[in-house]
Amino acid sequence: MSSDEWKRQAAEQALAHVEDGMKLGLGTGSTAAKFVELLGERVKAGLKVICVPTSEATRAQAAALNIPLATLDEYPALDLTVDGADEIDEDLRLIKGGGGALLREKIVAVASARVIIIADSTKLVDVLGRFPLPIEVVPFGLGSSRSLIERLAADSGCEGEIKLRTAPGGAPFVTDNGNHILDCSFGEIDDPEALDDALKLVPGVVESGLFLGIADIGIIAGPKGVETLSAIESDFEEEE
Ligand code: 5RP
């Protein structure tokens, strides 16, 4: 089975959590797109849901499938968000933003009662950081923001190349919010919470791609089948 098929398997299992009448957040990326595709089939068959997309790309995909769309201004609290991730650890901590949608993804996820992350097993890591950490920054003062990120990240034990993400033509990549992305190759991030706290001190940083304490369930599909990670279960295990 290919990674594409694993993504679809994870998306199929996430669909089982969707109920009639729900307000849903729709993630961004190739895995989330599989979920949107399957959701579109259910909507066509009569399922009633209202969805808030996390990017213009997802908005376009969902609109083409006639999935009813709304904004967080209309529905500030959602029942469930289903999204992908670039990396996921056993504690359901994530790196997101490979697709550049991390800010809207985090806003939508935090507005949701439950967050399900769907991924193929290549995304599962022992320690976050193999995937360069995306950080969304405002264009103004980019050089200063980059230097400050470098300094504060080093204080929390993270060092490595920080690259301004570029679009296919070579110009800086621009997010749906008009910002840029710095991709930080820090390697293993031993203390994601400390790094995230440090990044919040940089005025030009809009958001980091560290999603900590946000995901409730991880549905991971791979050669050994589909594995479900649950935040509640891991808390329970820790208590025992
Ligand atoms: C977009 C994201 C995506 O969820 C992440 O990049 C995973 O994408 P894919 O499912 O294509 O591997 O965070 O900002």
pTM of the model: 0.95
User: What is the C-alpha R_g of the chain?
Assistant: 18
Q: Enumerate the CATH 3.30.70.260 domain ranges in the chain, comma separated.
A: 133-206
Instruction: Tell which atom from ligand 1 comes closest to the C-alpha of 32.
Output: 10
Ligand 1 centroid to residue 205 C-alpha, Å:
20
What number does the ligand 1 atom closest to the CA of 33 have? 10
Q: What is the DSSP string of the chain?
A: --HHHHHHHHHHHHHTT--TT-EEEE--SHHHHHHHHHHHHHHHTT---EEEESSHHHHHHHHHTT--B--TTT-SSEEEEEE--SEE-TT--EE--TTS-HHHHHHHHHTEEEEEEEEEGGGB-SSS-SSPEEEEE-STTHHHHHHHHHHHHHHTT---EEEE-B-TTSSBP--TTS-EEEEEE----S-HHHHHHHHTT-TTEEEESEE-S--SEEEEEETTEEEEEEHHHHHHHHH-
**Ligand 1 and 217: CB distance under 6 A:** no
Q: Ligand 1 test: best mutation among 2, 8, 86, most atoms within 8 Å of CB?
A: 86
Residue 1: its pLDDT value, please? 79
Kindly state if the Cβ of 100 falls inside 6 Å of ligand 1. yes
CATH no. for 133-206: 3.30.70.260
Amino acid present at 153: A
Q: Which of 5, 37, 41, 105 is catalytic?
A: 105
Range(s) of the chain covered by CATH 3.40.50.1360? 3-124+212-231
> In tens digits, what is the pLDDT along the chain, a chain of 240 residues?
788 999 999 999 999 999 999 999 999 999 999 999 999 999 999 999 999 999 999 999 999 999 999 999 999 999 999 999 999 999 999 999 999 999 999 999 999 999 999 999 999 999 999 999 999 999 999 999 999 999 999 999 999 999 999 999 999 999 999 999 999 999 999 999 999 999 999 999 999 999 999 999 999 999 999 999 998 654 444 333
| Residue 204 beta carbon below 6 angstroms from any ligand 1 atom | no
pLDDT of residue 233: 55
Q: Would residue 136 show up in a list of annotated catalytic residues for this protein?
A: no
The one-letter code for the residue type at 148 is L
Residue 117 CB less than 6 A away from ligand 1: no
- Residue 94: which of 119, 77, 59 has the closest Cα? 119
Fold of 3-124+212-231: Rossmann fold (3.40.50)
Say what the pLDDT of residue 231 is.
86
Find out whether the beta carbon of 208 lies less than 6 Å from any atom of ligand 1: no
